[in-house]
Amino acid sequence: MQDQRWAELVQRHPKASIFHTVEWLQVLRLTYGYEPVAFTTSPPTGDLKNGLLFCWINSWLTGRRLVSLPFSDHCEPLCDSSVELNLLLRYLQGTLKQTKRLEVRPVDWDLSKVGEGIEFRPAAAYHLHKLDLRPDLHELFLCLDKDSIQRRINRAERAGLDEKCGRSDDLLKDFYELFVMTRARHRVPPIPFAWFRNLICCLDEELEIRVAYGDGIPIAAILTLRFRDVAYYKYGCSDTRFNKFGATPWLLWKAIAAAKLKGANEFDLGRTHEDGGGLLAFKNHWAQPRPLVYWQFPFSSSRDSAGNWKMKLAKQAFSYMPKSLLTLIGNSVYRHIG
């Protein structure tokens, strides 16, 4: 994003998140070659009053699309009124019909209620968990599920686990090994290693990797981000052989405590699919979920049904592949997914 006005809008707009920042857009461009573009009702000169951010995805596999925003849990339109958003969406519908699909991932906007003429339709449903960090730390701990969270945190403390936090090459290596292991367990190719290296390079101190060690062995890890007064839990991974130690909730609690100490008022636990199973149950023990809907134009239920069947077949194939092959596939296909 070359226009300095975008960075200024992101810094001052109350709805802006880590996913709107120039640094996040740089990671998307460096890793996948995505080019960002923002649509606005503001004139070419003067202050930028609003903006709807997308990335172009040009793929021989999935076509030419505008997505707001790839590999981002959500991306709120930076608009102060439904009139502004209505104008932008109607413009996109009318002038970008040559694209295969437009996708918007708002948090608070219901696109069915922003005025007439909007043809976007719900395409995917998730749950979004956000933890309010304004109460004191002891009160926050007592509000957590006693059996599933509090006891596991205490168990990790008694086990004498070691925690390392930072952005070093060694921490990234240990994190990524656990990440590949976890993705293989879920029958999904891992995100390319370059993605995480670029995250560290571009976000620097706004990113932290936390790894839990038992007798020197990495057993769980999480990656968190920070923008203004919000901390983000973006990735988590573990070695299931050591689940009995409760290392993941222990790391997450340490990240929450550290974020609060640095002035964060909210901890964003990210999106989880409606069929999220164990992950959804885990996040429900930390915070109450709220609906998160992705919207598409034009909408085709037959296309999405075909996509779901393809994913099911792919997961069956992935379950027979070694981790090394899954990693190679991840390096090749993610830029087509977005």
Read off the pLDDT of residues 299-316 as tens digits, 9 standing for 90 and up.
765 445 434 444 454 555
Tell me what pLDDT residue 148 has. 87
Full-model pTM: 0.92
Place of tokens 């670029």: 198
Tell me what pLDDT residue 185 has. 86
Evaluate whether 4-119 and 129-291 have a shared fold: yes
Q: What is the DSSP string of 223-287?
A: EEEEETTEEEEEEEEE-GGGGGG-HHHHHHHHHHHHHHHTT--EEEEEEEETT-THHHHHHHTTS
Question: What proportion of the chain, given as a percentage, has pLDDT over 90?
Answer: 74
Q: What is the homologous superfamily of the domain 129-291 according to CATH? A: Gcn5-related N-acetyltransferase (GNAT) (3.40.630.30)
Read off the pLDDT of residues 5-52 as tens digits, 9 standing for 90 and up.
999 999 999 999 999 999 999 999 999 999 999 999 998 888 899 999
Local confidence band at 187 (pLDDT 50, 70, 90 cut-offs): confident
Q: What's the CATH fold of domain 4-119?
A: Aminopeptidase (3.40.630)
Read off the pLDDT of residues 131-166 as tens digits, 9 standing for 90 and up.
999 999 999 999 998 988 999 999 999 999 999 999
Sign of CA dihedral 61, 310, 55, 71: negative
Q: Where are the domains of the chain?
A: 4-119, 129-291
